[in-house]
Amino acid sequence: MKKIIFHSNYHKLFTGFGKNAKNIISYLYKTGKYEIIEVANGKGMNDPELSKFPWKCIGAFPDPSDQISPEEQKKPEFQRNLSYGHYKIDEIIAKEKPDIYIGAEDIWAFDGFTKRVWWNKINCMIWTTLDSLPIIDTAVNSASKIENFYTWASFASKDMNRMGYSHVKTLNGSVDTSKFYKLKNEDKIKLRKKFNINEDDFITGFVFRNQLRKSVPNLLDGFKLFLEKNPKSKAKLLLHTHWSEGWDIPRLIKEKKIDPNLILTTYFCKACRQYEIKPFYGQNQDCRICGAPKSQETTNIVNGVSESQLNEIYNIMNVYCHPFTSGGMEIPIFEAKLTGLITLVTNYSCGEDSCTKISGGLPLEWSEYREPGTQFIKATTSAKSISENLELVFNMSDQERIQTGDLARDFVLKNYSIDVIGKKLEEIIDNMPDKQYNFDIKPSLRDPNYNPPIIKDDLKWLIDIYKNILKVDVDVSDEGLQNWALKLKQGTKRSQVLDYFKSVAFRENQEMYKPDFEDFLDKDDQDKRIAIVISGEDEDVFLSNSLLNGIKKQYPNHNIYAILKPEFFPLISSNKNLHKCIPFSDQLQDPMILEGKGKHKGYFNIAFYPETTKNKKSFCRNNLK
């Protein structure tokens, strides 16, 4: 039985990744073929809630007792890495020993994962959303190191195939088709009546997380234009979203001079778990249903409607409109299709898959703009196109709407259902080869003492020092490698690059390991070691350098280790009489730690503390003269 780690949003979160995780984990678990372990982003490692499921669920967020270095916490990406499980995944992998790792998140959630010691030692798969062209560098630079690379939308895999990454394929996100369906007409009428919506009101809906990439201003402009051209339409716009994040929707409505009573939203009560559809009157409203004071707020990912309630909300709509700047896969579009709604979708990014005639959709025209900084192509959806397509649906006969809606539902059933996507993933998993790995995830000790052979080609020389100093395998497409090659071409000396790589190796060794001499010392010279301890700065290092010849002459059969601050390693490491450098720490100023005493031998026969360090020490020398 293969053991699978599925790493994504916690499956009970009201997010696209959360819904997909619930669908897929449930599917794989029910096959009975695999041992499933969910690694849940957004939940603490020992959260008691995670013990309630039939599969094992582990939170990816560290416990308060976990110690993360102050240096790590200062990094700009710290909070992002924290939320995506970067500081627990190695521990989880080592403990659970999976055969397969599947990561289903935004691509930046896995930044640096391809350099982890377990990567590709087991079967590793990334199933990610890419939302814009050109494809983000994080995905392109890591593509060659991801053996199983799948995107949620076809536009992304097509573009990566064009760039030469033929192994990148499309695996759509999943939709629970059992929860979304068309209600009977009389039930729709009852629902509308419940919320004071007339039977003949033309309701345009948009279900979305209130993010700036969701084009709310464009939709409001298009809706207003439709109202002006169709004054007898009795049109209303239903925005199913949280009004306290992202766009300031009340301000936009006022700015565009739209009657706020024509803009509906979903209120959810935290007390009775019921919802209401009504115009927005602010947050923390008294619940009309149960009477709880200030318990209603607009729906959100923490306190939101159930899927059966959301199905009712889709059934209140006459048409679904989803304008956006870009997206990896917009799950509400497919939920809406399942309820028999015609969907109007921006014809860019993942929208290309869901605005075609065969999908029961209509394309919204857009114009290009570039995102500042990244220069990603983004879409500004045309308000005119929104208005025209709303008018097209409004003027359709009932029969035409039903036929197009049926086509939309059938499209999702055939291409996005849990069974269809689950079966495809099952086949991918079953075709993965068996891999043997001992799960020793302790990173390889770097080798700051390595000196490369003579290699004329700069790229080959860089690849060699990456491999032998930093213990990292890179290929010619690696961004860091290319940056160093450019610096060499621009005149940077190889000696400078080599010194930098060695200093990085020293620093990383210190970060990965406490100063444990069992790691730093050779195993075959236990009775033939001498230390020279230099606690000072560069002047002391230079002066101590001159002592090595005399020490080696006096003790020719001993290996000399220099213990000093890592930033000064390059000042002494080239001395032919020196065997190896070791990072300095304050406790090493006590010779008893290094030499030991009497029967309790230390690490070295002799530890020299040169006078230049201005330290006066007593020496044991372990009977050496």
Q: Is the pLDDT of residue 243 over 70?
A: yes
Residues 379-400: b if buried by 16+ CB within 10 A, e if exposed: bbbbbebbbbbbeebbebeeee
User: What pairs with residue 40 in β-bridges?
Assistant: 8, 59
Distant-in-sequence, close-in-space partners of 289: CB < 8 Å, separation ≥ 6: 269, 272, 274, 276
Give the model confidence (pLDDT) of 11-22 as tens digits: 998 788 999 999
User: Is 436 exposed, middle or buried, given 0-12, 13-18 or 19+ CB atoms closer than 10 A?
Assistant: exposed
User: Residue type for 464, please?
Assistant: D
User: Residue type for 486, please?
Assistant: L
CA distance 252 to 267: 19
Distant-in-sequence, close-in-space partners of 584: CB < 8 Å, separation ≥ 6: 533, 534, 535, 563, 564, 565, 566
* Strand-by-strand arrangement of the 148-151 sheet: 56-61, 34-44, 2-9, 100-104, 123-128, 148-151, 169-170
Cis before residue 134, ω within 30 degrees of 0?
Answer: yes
Give the model confidence (pLDDT) of 442-451 as tens digits: 777 888 889 9
Residue 118 in contact with residue 439, Cβ under 8 Å?
A: yes
pLDDT in the model for residue 33: 97
- Region of 575 (left: φ > 0; alpha: ψ -120 to 50; beta: rest) is beta
**Res. 441 pLDDT band, cuts 50 70 90:** confident
Give the model confidence (pLDDT) of 158-176 as tens digits: 999 999 999 999 999 999 9
CA distance 238 to 40: 32
User: Is 377 exposed, middle or buried, given 0-12, 13-18 or 19+ CB atoms closer than 10 A?
Assistant: middle
Residue 103 structure tokens: 């990561």
Q: Supply the DSSP symbol for 204.
A: E
**Res. 613 pLDDT band, cuts 50 70 90:** very low
Give the model confidence (pLDDT) of 568-587 as tens digits: 888 888 899 999 998 887 76
Residue 178 in contact with residue 197, Cβ under 8 Å?
A: no
Give the model confidence (pLDDT) of 334-354 as tens digits: 999 999 999 999 999 999 999
Q: Supply the DSSP symbol for 150.
A: E
Rounded to 10 degrees, what is the CA torsion of 132, 135, 138, 144? 140
**Res. 61 pLDDT band, cuts 50 70 90:** very high
How much is the pTM?
0.74
Q: Is the pLDDT of residue 432 over 50?
A: yes
**What is 51-79 written as a DSSP string?**
GGSSSEEEEEEPPTT----HHHHTSTTHH
pLDDT in the model for residue 599: 57
No. of helices (H) and no. of strands (E), the chain? 21, 23
CA distance 100 to 4: 5
Residue with tokens 């997010």: 15
Residue 378 in contact with residue 368, Cβ under 8 Å?
A: yes
Q: Count of alpha carbons within 13 Å of 191, Cβ hemisphere only? A: 21
**Res. 149 pLDDT band, cuts 50 70 90:** very high
**Mean of all residue pLDDT scores within the chain:** 92
Could you give phi then psi for residue 125, rounded to 5 degrees? -135, 135
- Say whether 566 sits in a helix, a strand or coil: helix
Structure-model confidence comparison of residues 73 and 340, the more confident one: 340
pLDDT in the model for residue 515: 53
Distant-in-sequence, close-in-space partners of 203: CB < 8 Å, separation ≥ 6: 197, 235, 236, 237, 238, 264, 316, 317, 318, 319
Residue 270 in contact with residue 246, Cβ under 8 Å?
A: no
| Element (DSSP H or E) covering residue 401 | helix 398-415
Q: Is the pLDDT of residue 278 over 60?
A: yes
Structure-model confidence comparison of residues 66 and 308, the more confident one: 308
Rounded to 10 degrees, what is the CA torsion of 41, 46, 52, 53? 40
Give start and end residues of each alpha helix (H) in 151-248.
154-162, 185-194, 216-229
User: What pairs with residue 265 in β-bridges?
Assistant: 239, 278
Give the model confidence (pLDDT) of 296-330 as tens digits: 999 998 899 999 999 999 999 999 999 999 999 99
Number of neighbours of residue 123 by Cβ within 10 angstroms: 21
pLDDT in the model for residue 622: 64
CA distance 420 to 427: 11
- Say whether 521 sits in a helix, a strand or coil: coil
